[in-house]
């Protein structure tokens, strides 16, 4: 009887290990797909671009604190999203 229980236990462990492995692979492959097109702070820049290209904070829409969203600076004004002093450089109506 102990030999049969040991064999069943090993089989159960093997099945559980396989399920965990498959689930882990599925999650690992899904994570990059979920990140594509994600804009956590809603500033019109993808999180991946904020990290890899611009060096801005993907969870703060105005990384430099200058008053203009990062995506607005990059996509519309062409200013530096890391420089708070150039945020309204392109629009004379916004300068105090």
- Could you read off the pLDDT of 43-78 as tens digits, one per residue? 999 999 999 999 999 999 999 999 999 999 999 999
Asked whether residue 33 carries a pLDDT value surpassing 50, the answer given is no
pLDDT given at position 81:
94
Q: How many CB atoms lie within 10 A of CB 75?
A: 12
Percent of the chain with pLDDT over 90: 46
pLDDT given at position 46:
93
Question: Is the model's pTM score more than 0.85?
Answer: no
Residues 6 or more apart in contact with residue 38 via CB below 8 angstroms: 46, 47, 48
Task: Scan for tokens 């203009």, then name that residue.
Answer: 68
Banded pLDDT at 26 (limits 50, 70, 90): low
Asked whether residue 14 carries a pLDDT value surpassing 50, the answer given is yes
- How far is the first Cα of the chain from the last one, in angstroms, to the nearest whole number? 87
Distance of CA 80 to the CA centre of its chain: 21
């Amino acid at each position: 009887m102990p030999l049969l229980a040991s064999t069943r236990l090993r089989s159960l462990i093997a099945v559980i290990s396989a399920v965990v492995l498959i689930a882990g692979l599925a999650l690992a492959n899904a994570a990059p797909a979920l990140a594509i097109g994600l804009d956590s702070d809603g500033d019109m820049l993808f999180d991946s671009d904020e990290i890899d290209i611009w060096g801005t904070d993907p969870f703060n829409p105005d990384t430099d604190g200058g008053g203009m969203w990062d995506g607005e600076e990059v996509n519309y004004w062409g200013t530096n999203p890391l420089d708070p002093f150039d945020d309204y450089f392109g629009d004379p109506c916004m300068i105090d």
